[in-house]
Amino acid sequence: MNWELVGWFAGVIATLVGIKFVWTLFRTLFSKESMVRVIDSVGNSAQKAADKMSRGFSEKMAEKRARKEMEKEYYKPEVVNR
């Protein structure tokens, strides 16, 4: 049996399978549906990050307001009559 010919056919078949795999991979990755999914997921993650930052700013502002109110009561000037 001619093993070089069998090896050559196996190489050709492996090359064709590899090309088909790469073609399917690129077609799947760059299809319209996958691009829409990527854009939607980026938008969702950006929205979650913005909500998290907004909550953080709101909490810090509430703490700052409470601290100012406490300082205002603590450092209230006393009126002394002479």
Per-residue model confidence as pLDDT tens digits over 3-49: 899 999 999 999 999 999 999 999 988 888 988 998 999 999 999 99
The predicted model scores a pTM of 0.51
CA 29 → CA 23, 33, 38, 56, 60, distances in Å?
10, 9, 10, 36, 42
3-state secondary structure string across the chain: CCHHHHHHHHHHHHHHHHHHHHHHHHHHHCCHHHHHHHHHHHHHHHHHHHHHHHHHHHHHHHHHHHHHHHHHHHCCCCCCCC
User: Per-domain residue ranges for the chain?
Assistant: 1-30, 31-73
34 Cβ contact partners less than 8 Å away, ≥ 6 residues apart? 28
